A and B are shown apart, each in its own frame.
Chain A
Amino acid sequence: MADLSQQADEALAAAAARGQGAAFEILVRRHERVVRGFLTRLAGAGRADDLAQETFLTAWTKASAFSGEGRYKGWLMRIAWRSFLMDSRGRSRRLPEHKGAGETPEQADRSDAERDLIVEDALARLKPEDRAAVVLCLVLGHSHGEAAQILDMPLGTLKTRVARGSAKLLELLGDEDDSDD
């Protein structure tokens, strides 16, 4: 039998659809960083892992729904986005999520953890759709077309959201390069 870990996502997805748990586990290992990263940027670190678990469970139970068209990663991100939306709708009925737009994120100390908090805080001030568009295109390197498919919105709308979200983030975070590289 060929080494599963060497196989492409699509072959592994087909094996997972036939109920092969080992193939699915390789897909989880391959994509968990990106899915959890996407959800961390969207929902915050506190909710990201639970949403990622839900995303992978849905991907497992609906494995046969992946048609093989497009990238498996894109299909996963689409599930992650929907999980996030469902969760947010449930939460918004229980408690208000958005923070006051008047406050600006603290930028005094710049340790890694604080920098992450500042970024998380700034992202939380964007509308969820703008946040998702920026993260998909700027952080995860998806093309505008792919991101529009993942978020299920027209290409023009997606581009507007990326531009608006980026401008707002630059305004909140300031236009300075404080990365370590």
Chain B
Amino acid sequence: MIPTTDQLDRLARRLALPERAPDEAFVARIRLARSAAELVGEAERSRREQLVIEISGGGALLLAASQLGQIGEQAAHLLAPLATSLGGLALFGLAAAMMLFTLAGDRESLA
């Protein structure tokens, strides 16, 4: 069945939306919803910023640790040939000399 124009007009009248003034309560509802959405957006932004700061801090700590490790490794590379070229007795003597030197320094400072 194909509806006639008259039938469609009558149907349109039955389905018509009632005329009314703007609903200020709904306008206020949208205003509040917008504010709430903006607050949620701001909270998410600040959470993201905090996360970036924490990740950067973690990265900086890792970098510092790796640099310290490298320095330690370099020091070990320098000392290792010395340790192998000197005998055990010589190393013991060196350590004892350093200890005596430190103790002497402590006494002087106390006096």
Known contacts A53-B29, A138-B15, A170-B1, then 20 further A-B pairs from the complex at CB < 8 Å, ordered by chain A residue: A25-B30, A29-B27, A33-B22, A41-B17, A49-B29, A53-B30, A53-B33, A56-B33, A57-B34, A115-B14, A123-B15, A138-B8, A139-B12, A139-B15, A167-B3, A169-B11, A170-B7, A171-B1, A175-B7, A176-B10
Shortest Cβ-Cβ A-B pairs, 6 listed:
A37-B17, A179-B13, A138-B12, A29-B22, A177-B10, A139-B15
Please indicate which of the listed interface residues A36, A52, A170, A181 has the most CB atoms of chain B within 10 Å of its own CB. Answer: A170
A-B contact pairs, 8 of them (CB 8 A): A29-B22, A33-B17, A33-B20, A57-B30, A57-B33, A134-B15, A138-B15, A171-B1
- Pick from A30, A135, A175: contact of B15, CB under 8 Å: A135
Which residues from A are CB-within-8-Å of B31? 21, 25
Q: A145 vs B107: C-alpha distance in the bound complex, in angstroms?
A: 101
Q: Does B60 contact A (CB under 8 A)?
A: no
Inter-chain contact A32/B26, CB cutoff 8 Å: yes
Q: A134 vs B3: C-alpha distance in the bound complex, in angstroms?
A: 12
Q: Does A61 contact B (CB under 8 A)?
A: yes
Q: How far is the CB of A130 from chain B (nearest CB, A)?
A: 13
- Pick from A34, A40, A115, A170: contact of B11, CB under 8 Å: A170
Q: Does A155 contact B (CB under 8 A)?
A: no
Q: How far is the CB of B1 from chain A (nearest CB, A)?
A: 5
Q: A34 vs B10: C-alpha distance in the bound complex, in angstroms?
A: 20
Chain B interface size, as a band, is 20 to 34
Q: A169 vs B24: C-alpha distance in the bound complex, in angstroms?
A: 33
Which residues from B are CB-within-8-Å of A179? 10, 13-14, 16
Q: Does B89 contact A (CB under 8 A)?
A: no
Mark A residues whose CB is within 8 Å of B: 21, 24-25, 28-30, 32-34, 36-37, 40-41, 49, 52-53, 56-57, 60-61, 115, 119, 123, 134-135, 138-140, 163, 166-167, 169-171, 173, 175-179, 181
Inter-chain contact B23/A173, CB cutoff 8 Å: no
Inter-chain contact B15/A167, CB cutoff 8 Å: no
Which residues from B are CB-within-8-Å of A25? 27, 30-31
Please indicate which of the listed interface residues B24, B27, B37 has the most CB atoms of chain A within 10 Å of its own CB. Answer: B27
Q: How far is the CB of A110 from chain B (nearest CB, A)?
A: 11
Which residues from A are CB-within-8-Å of B7? 166, 170, 175
Inter-chain contact A28/B27, CB cutoff 8 Å: yes
Inter-chain contact B1/A167, CB cutoff 8 Å: yes
Q: A59 vs B100: C-alpha distance in the bound complex, in angstroms?
A: 82
Which residues from A are CB-within-8-Å of B111? none
Q: A61 vs B33: C-alpha distance in the bound complex, in angstroms?
A: 12
